[in-house]
Structure 1
Amino acid sequence: MKIITHYMLAGLLVAASIQNQAVSKATRSARQPFPEKGFWVTETAPGKKSTIVRYYAHSNHLVSETTEPALLDVRKVSVRKYLNEKLRKELEKDTTGQAVIKLYEID
């Protein structure tokens, strides 16, 4: 009877651990700052000392394209926060985004 109790206790602990991991993954980490709207894509050509950044709206509409004079390392949190802020500003300036038909609105 003790063995069954131990197995049941171990099973409960495993289930609690799995649930705890699922809940922690659902929240956004401070290490992974995501933009509220849209997304950005960086491109660095080999041998170049600059980075091309393209800013998109959620509908995959290209809002703008800029060239940063330095190499950007998107693994750094500060660079991702910088790009997210630039994306927010570019989306505020975008006037064509309001007129674009959303895919789910097409009959």
Structure 2
Amino acid sequence: MKLIAHCVLVGLLVAAGMQNRAVRSARQPFPEKGFWVAETNPGKKSTIVRYYAHSNHLVSETTEPELLDITKLSVRKYLNGKLRKELEKDTTGQSAIKLYEIP
């Protein structure tokens, strides 16, 4: 009887772990267009963020005054929002040749 109880308990723990992993991956915010790259230099208290269009076209580069921890969900959402605004301001991205269009 104890063996059955232990097996049921192990099954519940495995199922809970799988559900937790699925929820965690669903919380990862990915930008709809483009991407950003954050760079922190050792010894500096700031973060350089570069925003790119999907075609690897550098849209803008900014320096955030503090260190950004991109492992935090709120920081990734913040950077995705800034990326969206930078892509809206970009006028060259509309006419830029895409990498896959180059012969």
Q: TM-score, length-normalised on structure 2?
A: 0.74
How many correspondences in the alignment? 83
Structure 2 match to 1:29:
26
- Which residue of 50, 72, 75 maps to 2:68? 72
Q: Give me the whole-angstrom Cα distance separating, in 2, the residues matched to 1:54 and 1:64.
A: 6
Choose between structure 1 and 2: higher helix proportion. Answer: 2
Compare CA radii of gyration and give the structure with the larger one: 1
Q: TM-score, length-normalised on structure 1?
A: 0.71
> Identity, % of aligned pairs?
82
Structure 1 match to 2:87:
91
Q: Give me the whole-angstrom Cα distance separating, in 2, the residues matched to 1:62 and 1:92.
A: 13
Mark the runs of 5 or more structure 2 residues left unpaired by the alignment: 1-21
Structure 2 match to 1:59:
55
Q: CA deviation at 1:103?
A: 2.5
Q: CA deviation at 1:102?
A: 1.5
How large is the RMSD of aligned CA atoms in angstroms?
2.0
